[in-house]
Amino acid sequence: MSAPVLTAVAWPYANGPRHIGHVSGFGVPSDVFSRYMRMSGHQVLMVSGTDEHGTPISVQADKEGLSTRELADKYNRVIAEDLQGLGLSYDLFTRTTTGNHYRVVQDLFSALWKNGYVTPKTQMGAISPSTGRTLPDRYIEGTCPICGYDGARGDQCDNCGNQLDPADLKNPRSRINGETPKFVETEHLFLDLPAFAETLGSWLSTRTEWRPNVLKFSQNLLGDMRPRAITRDLDWGVPVPLDGWRDAPMKRFYVWFDAVIGYLSASVEWARRSGDPDAWKQFWTDPSAQGYYFMGKDNIVFHSLIWPSLLLGQNGAGDRGGEPGRFGTLNLPTEVVSSEYLTMSGSKFSTSRGTVIYVRDFLKQFGPDTLRYFISVAGPENQDTDFTWDEFVRRSNFELANEWGNLVNRSVSMAHKNVGAIPRPTAPTAADEQLKAQVRAAFDTVGANLRRSRFKAAATEAMRVVGAANKYLSDEEPWKRKDDPERRDTILHTALQVVSDANTLLTPFLPHSAQKVHEALGGTGVWAAQPEIREVDDLDVPDRGYPVLTGDYAGEAAKWESVDIEVGRPLAKPSPLFAKLDAELGENGPEWAPIVT
Ligand SMILES: [Zn+2]
């Protein structure tokens, strides 16, 4: 039996729709991985949801004239629709404002508290002198005391990656109105991160399979771990289950603390909805289970150091010892898979600068698979990568339409026209056998790359097979074999067998068109299952409902293996798999696209 696999996908923040930079970091890679793992026989639990607490939600709600809850409701739905449109096969995509999430966060906190990993401390908090309101860390900017970078945020320096305290910034200023914040005393709870540094250090030294940039970045931060605040002066968040804190209107868990626990709470919610409330345990407490976490690089520290610290504290496994909490002994991540940034003209996508391409605009014009393919084969897997329309159009036209679409189309068309069904092969030649062997071997090479989240290499390897099949058809010229139908049928049979296998290899990347190819080869039923949005009731809070993204993936037919095609199965005339894009789109993109200077 293959090990159960948890795919933990970074939680999108519910303050706006998703752009293609977001989904190239956490979305497409996690789905390609999960689809492959399901196809190769693993039981997969892929979870995430919208991250809905914290100040930016309050700020955005003020801007849109909505309450915080109304704003969270609005973007939770928008984001779930964006991700569904891309075909991201979540077992559960939920949200952080559910009764279930509140309880899991509070229970995990209680274990940390009981084991002595949380201590109250009075610190200096920033307020706005003009309004008297709390000024959250990320709304303060100034010069980093460590590297001197001038755009450092109060909570973190994006240049050197260090966690910061806003009171340490040089020349602090409010990003809301530019004024100098005033620092006043306030009591908060702190997670004792240094108590985990040693255990984390030895654990990280065993993570030799991680992408080197992720491992190095994490190890570099180890020596700098300081106690980190897990509460904030804010009225929008999960309440702290301690006497004196529980009913305090302006004391809530810090948004990062509750959001990162979402992986566990979403797994628990999925289990409760499945009818077996303990079903989450096989993905979290079974020592053979594997956990893969997908995110953009700005989130590495939360997944490689902070979340593992929370898990160790809950387990009672840091320097202060302790007993496992309500959840038992939870597994640490198997791997933290981080992508770099998809950029536009060298900068991150920015809503405020107007350099942004929204997922929904993109899907409306181009459909999901071209974007999935582009991100997989040309995305920011190992380095920041510029999105250009020119490359998008080129890859869509040459690789998807000309190479793959054309191979499917001409193989099926010729077999349909000449035989009307999958032809019977006779006396295969060395060339036939060699091509079929090459495709069969690709299951191992492409699979090994997918297992290690090397998407570029996996997609390139799969497309190499497609190229070899096109060359085979050009060499063998079945269209010139009118007087030798046996040879013609053998060539077409070989080509169709390779189309079928290549379709399996490409299914994790192109699940929507894979379904069409399956049908073009005369297949029926669900080849690659797609997620759907279901309206559900909150399991714990009466009269509250919300949409979740989920699906029935167990019944899909796609398996990671070569399956012999069935001679005599009727074939219909195929329709083109990918529309050829107008080359002019390669210059500036569609009309709705941002102008890049
Ligand atoms: Zn810095």
pLDDT digits (tens, 9 = 90+) for 535-552: 999 999 999 999 999 999
Beta sheet of 118-127, edge-to-edge order: 118-127, 182-191, 228-229
User: Beta strands 342-344 and 385-386: pairing type?
Assistant: parallel
Dist. CA 385 → ligand 1 center (Å): 23
Dist. CA 136 → ligand 1 center (Å): 19
What's the pLDDT tens digit per position in 553-568? 999 999 999 999 999 9
Dist. CA 291 → ligand 1 center (Å): 31
Cβ neighbours around 288 below 10 Å, total? 10
CA 539 vs. chain centroid, Å, equals 26
First to last CA, the chain: 54
Cβ neighbours around 212 below 10 Å, total? 9
Q: What is the mean pLDDT of the chain?
A: 95
Residue 398 buriedness (CB in 10 A; 0-12 / 13-18 / 19+): exposed
Q: Is the confidence at residue 124, as pLDDT, over 90? A: no
pLDDT > 90 fraction of the chain, expressed in percent and rounded: 85
Q: Is the confidence at residue 458, as pLDDT, over 70? A: yes
Dist. CA 184 → ligand 1 center (Å): 24
Instruction: Give the mean model confidence (pLDDT) for residues 167-195.
Output: 93
Residue 329 CA: distances (Å) to CA of 7, 111, 323, 413, 490: 19, 12, 9, 57, 57
CB burial string 530-562: b at 16+ within 10 A, e below: bbebeebebeeeeeeebbbbbbebeebebebeb
Dist. CA 159 → ligand 1 center (Å): 5
Dist. CA 150 → ligand 1 center (Å): 8
Residue 587: both structure tokens together: 């210059």
Going by pLDDT thresholds of 50, 70 and 90, the confidence category of residue 427 is: very high
State the sign of the Cα–Cα–Cα–Cα dihedral 151, 152, 153, 154: negative
Which range among 176-180, 409-413, 434-438, 493-497 shows the weakest confidence by mean pLDDT?
176-180
Dist. CA 350 → ligand 1 center (Å): 21
What's the pLDDT tens digit per position in 39-87? 999 999 999 999 999 888 887 898 899 999 999 999 999 999 999 999 9
- Residue partners of 543: CB distance under 8 A and separation at least 6: none
pLDDT > 70 fraction of the chain, expressed in percent and rounded: 99
Dist. CA 228 → ligand 1 center (Å): 17
Dist. CA 348 → ligand 1 center (Å): 18
Dist. CA 299 → ligand 1 center (Å): 16
- Residue partners of 175: CB distance under 8 A and separation at least 6: 138, 139, 140, 141
The answer to whether the CB of 511 falls within 8 A of the CB of 530 is yes
The answer to whether the CB of 343 falls within 8 A of the CB of 125 is no
Dist. CA 438 → ligand 1 center (Å): 50
Q: Is the confidence at residue 1, as pLDDT, over 70? A: no
Dist. CA 169 → ligand 1 center (Å): 10
Dist. CA 161 → ligand 1 center (Å): 6
Going by pLDDT thresholds of 50, 70 and 90, the confidence category of residue 352 is: confident
The answer to whether the CB of 556 falls within 8 A of the CB of 502 is no
The residues with which 385 forms a beta bridge, in sequence order, are 342
Q: Is the confidence at residue 353, as pLDDT, over 90? A: no
Dist. CA 157 → ligand 1 center (Å): 5
Going by pLDDT thresholds of 50, 70 and 90, the confidence category of residue 596 is: low
Dist. CA 151 → ligand 1 center (Å): 9
On the CB side of 182, CA atoms within 13 Å amount to 9
Q: Is the confidence at residue 351, as pLDDT, over 80? A: no
Q: Is the confidence at residue 33, as pLDDT, over 80? A: yes
For 545, the 3-state DSSP assignment is: strand
Which range among 146-160, 371-385, 434-448 shows the weakest confidence by mean pLDDT?
146-160
Instruction: Give the mean model confidence (pLDDT) for residues 521-533.
Output: 98
CA distance 515 to 510: 9
